[in-house]
Amino acid sequence: MVQEQNNTQCLEEDEIDLRELFATIWANKFTIMAISLLITSLAILYALYKPNVYTSKSILIPKDQGGKPSISGGAAAMAAMAGINLGGGGGLDIDGLFKNLLSDYAFNKPLIKKYRLDAMLSPEAIDKHLVFAANQRAVYDFIKGYSEGEGEKKKKHYDEILFDTFKKLKNILSVSSDKESGAITLSAKFEDRFVAKKLVDIYLKEMSDYIKWLDLKEIDDQVRYYEQELQRAKNLDLKANINELLSALVKKKVLSQAGEFYMVKQLTKPQVPYIKDKAGPKRALIVIVAFITSIILGIFFVFFKEFLKSDEEEEFESENYKFINV
């Protein structure tokens, strides 16, 4: 009997608390609506301010590393001992090489200078190709004009400009791979869809040429070394093995020259994305998340205000009680 009375009392208290909470929310509904309207309006302005982002990509597949030069056991043993790979680049992690080159400032710096990527990625250069929601760029132009009117920007040293461009490129370019098919995707994600396509073309060619140059340089060094060893060799079997090894290295060098790109075939060429085929921003999602968050913040603000108000009333009543007793 006593337990039932306690349970009933607890339910009544919970019901009273919920009623008080809803009453507080209802009494401050206009405050919550004002906060929600303010935050949602800012989110809408932000969504309108951000231009569309487009992705251009090229899908690559590693070349078949078959056709390895046929050499005798002695020459093969010599190649293995010297750490020479005669498979035309087989065993190399192309995906990893591309990723390392994209994150290497020493590789990127000459490219930025060669193609003037700092100017290509500048806001002034891409401005005419920016696309906005409903083709309305009024918000963007207003904020841009306001920021430019605040004062002249501090002029940067050229080395600083190069490094800033490198950091920007790291956010634009990316390399991914499919473990099942082995396909490699080089992509560029940028506001200017024409520049995105250019960047994929530039970096695919330059990274492929750089890896080829390193591999051919190594082959040339090996050929020179074994030619010297061939002149010093006295043993006929050793001379035969070195000749076979030299022949295999020359074949590898010739095979590496075939094809447009080194060690990879281009399955799909990069294209200028269609104007409606944007990768971002997700404007509807931005506004919806902002609206829900604004309601939560509005309710939290109202409860916090009521909490402070109740504390002040309790302190006031306590001081009045002390004053009356005195």
Q: In sequence order, what E strands does the chain have?
A: 54-62, 173-177, 184-190, 264-268
Claim to verify: residue 159 and residue 209 sit in the same structural domain: yes
96 within a domain of the structure (yes/no): yes
Claim to verify: residue 87 and residue 225 sit in the same structural domain: yes
pLDDT tens per residue across all 326 residues of the chain: 445 555 555 545 455 477 888 888 888 899 999 999 999 999 999 999 999 999 999 999 987 654 444 444 444 444 444 445 555 444 568 888 999 999 999 999 999 999 999 999 999 999 999 999 888 888 888 888 776 655 556 678 999 999 999 999 999 999 999 888 889 999 999 999 999 999 999 999 999 999 989 888 888 888 888 788 788 887 877 778 778 888 887 887 777 777 788 888 999 999 999 999 999 999 999 999 999 999 999 999 998 888 887 655 555 455 554 545 55
Query: Which sign, positive or negative, has the C-alpha torsion 25, 30, 34, 36?
Result: positive
Claim to verify: residue 124 and residue 222 sit in the same structural domain: yes
Claim to verify: residue 74 and residue 40 sit in the same structural domain: no
Claim to verify: residue 123 and residue 211 sit in the same structural domain: yes
274 within a domain of the structure (yes/no): no
Claim to verify: residue 205 and residue 313 sit in the same structural domain: no
Contact at 8 Å (CB) between 277 and 34?
no
List C-alpha distances in Å: 84 to 52, 64, 88, 219, 254. Answer: 49, 19, 11, 9, 16
**What's phi and psi for 50, nearest 5 deg?**
-75, 125
Claim to verify: residue 118 and residue 236 sit in the same structural domain: yes
Distance of CA 70 to the CA centre of its chain: 43
Helices (H), 89-186: 94-102, 105-115, 117-120, 123-126, 138-149, 158-172
9 within a domain of the structure (yes/no): no
1 within a domain of the structure (yes/no): no
Q: pTM above the 0.75 mark?
A: yes
**What's phi and psi for 267, nearest 5 deg?**
-75, -45
Label residue 57 exposed, middle or buried (CB < 10 Å: 0-12, 13-18, 19+): buried
Report the alpha-carbon distance of residue 308 to residue 305 in Å, rounded. 5
Tell me which residue range forms the domain holding 176: 54-268
* The total number of structural domains that make up the chain: 2
305 within a domain of the structure (yes/no): yes
6 within a domain of the structure (yes/no): no
What does the DSSP assignment read for 233-247?
Answer: ---HHHHHHHHHHHH
